[in-house]
């Protein structure tokens, strides 16, 4: 057998490529256990290979795996969000279950791939939205003007539910910054929400998200109606913190109200949200935003990433140089927040300095305690050694005075006793 040089394909790989380039998707389920090449590529995290296979007609929903796994499940297990997205975009079904009754999102969650869970739970295909851009039944015009589908789809696909970010997404597209357009989009969101509830496999998560977006768009529309400064005023209201600690009360109340207005009262997700939020005083943790985000995106906790104080984007690194207590993704986000942050910045700085001083003091005390400990240990040790030595001496004194024969030589070698003998 000739050895392969680097970059050469093995005979089975060659065969696979021939099948792919010949565009014969039916022959792509050749591998044992019913595992298709697409499943393999997804599991191994090979994005280029997945793309190639999909382009050549690999069936994303092939379900002949012996344990009922799909390519989407393997993508979720791999932890690669881009591949998970690719499978969804190619039409992967999200509600298929494997032999133990788990969906792809549940499988990904089971192995801790929460970013993939987020992608799956928030996926809503453009094709499903485009349905509303065509007149249905007796309609003369579609519910959603086709030009709005793109910008609206971008809002739907956002996994950042911070209302400031949502308004920014609306604001960045002039087509959406118009009362009539917003009302149409809002209506479509409500229809999709209703569909998510009434379809056979109810999708509570997506229904809640659509409802939330609908509320957000409605808020934008009402601000556009009676304000000259368009959506900047809404952003300011959402960011404005209360005087005592800078907590954005309006934002919290807005999100709570959105949840309360969810029209399907007996939905379990709604009841869970209300139970988590209702007992919390405004300003305390958890915030309505964090509870809602966890419910919709599946993001558990906010531990391993820093989030922008203004817009909630992940991976923010720029810190306020004065208080060092708030972080932003961009300079523009800091600028946007300054009108309200400046009222508490000094106070936060003092708090931080006090905390730092206290923890430094604590560290000092701890090291002192350690030092004292060591000294005590040493002195106790030497005390113990001394005591042992004393008792040993007592022992030898006792034994020498009892006149035991073994000690007689020693007694005899005493110079005084010799002198005595000389006399
Ligand atoms: Zn930001
Ligand atoms: Zn600051």
Render pLDDT for 226-266 as a digit per residue (tens, 0 to 9).
766 679 999 999 999 999 889 999 999 999 999 999 999 99
pLDDT of residue 369: 67
pLDDT of residue 232: 92
Q: Is pLDDT larger for residue 88 or for residue 366?
A: 88
Domain ranges of the chain: 15-121, 127-301, 305-378
Q: What distance in angstroms lies between residue 337's CA and the mean position of ligand 1's atoms?
A: 9
pLDDT of residue 303: 53
Query: With contact defined as beta carbons under 8 Å apart, do 205 and 295 qualify?
Result: yes
Please report which confidence band the pLDDT of residue 300 belongs to, taking 50, 70 and 90 as the band edges: low
CA–CA distance from 247 to each of 98, 184, 235, 290 (Å)?
A: 45, 33, 15, 14
CA neighbor of 195 nearest in space, from 182, 211, 180 = 211
pLDDT of residue 398: 44
The closest ligand to the CA of 341 turns out to be: 2
Count of CB atoms within 10 A of residue 120's CB? 29
Please report which confidence band the pLDDT of residue 373 belongs to, taking 50, 70 and 90 as the band edges: low
The closest ligand to the CA of 318 turns out to be: 1
Q: Is pLDDT larger for residue 377 or for residue 350?
A: 350
CA neighbor of 210 nearest in space, from 191, 189, 186 = 189
The closest ligand to the CA of 241 turns out to be: 2
Q: What distance in angstroms lies between residue 165's CA and the mean position of ligand 1's atoms?
A: 8
* Ion ligand 1: protein residues whose beta carbon lies under 5 Å: 308, 310-311, 313, 329, 333
This prediction's pTM: 0.70
User: DSSP assignment, residue 370?
Assistant: H
Whether 70 shows a pLDDT value over 90: the answer reads yes
The closest ligand to the CA of 347 turns out to be: 2
| For residues 27-37, average pLDDT | 68
| For residues 381-395, average pLDDT | 59
Q: What distance in angstroms lies between residue 120's CA and the mean position of ligand 1's atoms?
A: 24
Helices of type H across 227-316: 232-239, 249-260, 268-277, 288-297
| For residues 327-354, average pLDDT | 94
The closest ligand to the CA of 164 turns out to be: 1
Q: What distance in angstroms lies between residue 151's CA and the mean position of ligand 1's atoms?
A: 20
Q: What distance in angstroms lies between residue 313's CA and the mean position of ligand 1's atoms?
A: 5
Q: Give 197-216 pLDDT, tens digit per residue.
A: 998 778 888 999 999 999 99
Q: What distance in angstroms lies between residue 239's CA and the mean position of ligand 1's atoms?
A: 12
Q: What distance in angstroms lies between residue 219's CA and the mean position of ligand 1's atoms?
A: 21
Q: For the chain, how long is the longest CA-to-CA vector?
A: 145
CA 144 – CA 153 distance, rounded (Å): 12
Q: What distance in angstroms lies between residue 174's CA and the mean position of ligand 2's atoms?
A: 33
Please report which confidence band the pLDDT of residue 52 belongs to, taking 50, 70 and 90 as the band edges: very high
CA 329 – CA 311 distance, rounded (Å): 8
Q: What distance in angstroms lies between residue 327's CA and the mean position of ligand 1's atoms?
A: 8
The closest ligand to the CA of 345 turns out to be: 2
Per-range mean pLDDT, top range of 59-73, 118-132, 270-284: 270-284
The closest ligand to the CA of 160 turns out to be: 1
pLDDT of residue 30: 54
Please report which confidence band the pLDDT of residue 275 belongs to, taking 50, 70 and 90 as the band edges: very high
What do you get for the CA distance between the two ends of the chain, in Å? 109
Query: With contact defined as beta carbons under 8 Å apart, do 71 and 42 qualify?
Result: yes
The closest ligand to the CA of 328 turns out to be: 1
Which two tokens mark 169?
A: 């997404």
User: DSSP assignment, residue 176?
Assistant: T
Q: What distance in angstroms lies between residue 355's CA and the mean position of ligand 2's atoms?
A: 16
Q: Is pLDDT larger for residue 28 or for residue 322?
A: 322
Q: Is pLDDT larger for residue 298 or for residue 389?
A: 298
The closest ligand to the CA of 323 turns out to be: 2
pLDDT of residue 7: 65
Q: What distance in angstroms lies between residue 268's CA and the mean position of ligand 2's atoms?
A: 40
Q: What distance in angstroms lies between residue 220's CA and the mean position of ligand 2's atoms?
A: 29
CA neighbor of 218 nearest in space, from 234, 232, 195 = 234
Q: How far from the centroid of its chain's Cα atoms is residue 57's Cα?
A: 34
The closest ligand to the CA of 162 turns out to be: 1
Query: With contact defined as beta carbons under 8 Å apart, do 157 and 117 qualify?
Result: no
Query: With contact defined as beta carbons under 8 Å apart, do 149 and 126 qualify?
Result: yes
> What CATH number is given for 15-121 in this structure?
1.25.40.20
The closest ligand to the CA of 342 turns out to be: 2
Q: Which residues, other chains included, contact 344 with Cβ-Cβ below 8 Å and sequence gap of 6+?
A: 241, 243, 245, 246
The closest ligand to the CA of 350 turns out to be: 2
């Amino acid at each position: 057998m000739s050895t392969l040089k680097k970059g050469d394909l093995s005979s089975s790989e060659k065969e696979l490529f021939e099948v792919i380039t010949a565009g014969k998707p039916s022959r792509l389920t050749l591998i044992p256990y019913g595992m298709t090449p697409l499943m393999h590529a997804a599991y191994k995290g090979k994005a280029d290979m997945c793309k190639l296979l999909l382009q050549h007609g690999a069936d994303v929903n092939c379900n002949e795996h012996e344990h009922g796994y799909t390519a989407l499940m393997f993508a979720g297990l791999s932890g690669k969000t881009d591949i998970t997205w690719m499978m969804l975009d190619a039409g992967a079904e999200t509600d298929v279950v494997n032999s133990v009754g788990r969906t792809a999102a549940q499988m990904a969650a089971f192995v801790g791939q929460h970013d993939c869970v987020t992608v799956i739970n928030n996926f809503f295909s453009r094709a499903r939205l485009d349905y509303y851009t065509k007149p249905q039944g007796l309609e003369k015009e579609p519910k959603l003007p086709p030009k709005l589908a793109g910008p609206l789809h971008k809002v739907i696909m956002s996994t950042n539910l911070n209302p400031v970010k949502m308004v920014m997404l609306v604001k960045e597209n002039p087509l959406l910054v118009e009362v009539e357009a917003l009302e149409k989009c809002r209506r479509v969101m409500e229809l999709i929400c209703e569909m998510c509830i009434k379809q056979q496999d109810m999708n509570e998560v997506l229904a809640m998200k659509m409802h939330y977006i609908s509320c957000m768009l409605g808020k934008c529309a009402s601000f556009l109606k009676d304000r000259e400064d368009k959506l900047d005023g809404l952003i300011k209201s959402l960011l404005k913190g209360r005087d005592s600690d800078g907590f954005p009360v309006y934002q919290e109340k807005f999100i709570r109200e959105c949840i309360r207005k969810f029209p399907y009262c007996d939905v379990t997700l709604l009841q869970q949200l209300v139970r988590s939020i209702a007992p919390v005083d405004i300003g305390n943790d958890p915030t309505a935003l964090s509870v809602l985000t966890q419910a919709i995106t599946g993001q558990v906790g906010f531990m391993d990433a820093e989030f922008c104080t203004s817009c909630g984007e992940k991976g923010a690194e720029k810190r306020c140089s004065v208080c060092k207590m708030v972080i932003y993704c961009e300079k523009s986000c800091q600028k946007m927040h300054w009108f309200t942050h400046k009222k508490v910045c000094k106070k936060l700085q003092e708090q931080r300095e006090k905390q730092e001083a206290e923890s430094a003091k604590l560290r000092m005390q701890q090291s002192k305690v350690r030092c004292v400990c060591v000294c005590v240990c040493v002195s106790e040790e030497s005390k113990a050694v001394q005591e042992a030595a004393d008792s040993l001496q007592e022992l030898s004194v006792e034994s020498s005075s009892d006149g035991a024969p073994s000690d007689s030589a020693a007694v005899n070698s005493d110079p005084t006793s010799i002198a005595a003998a000389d006399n």
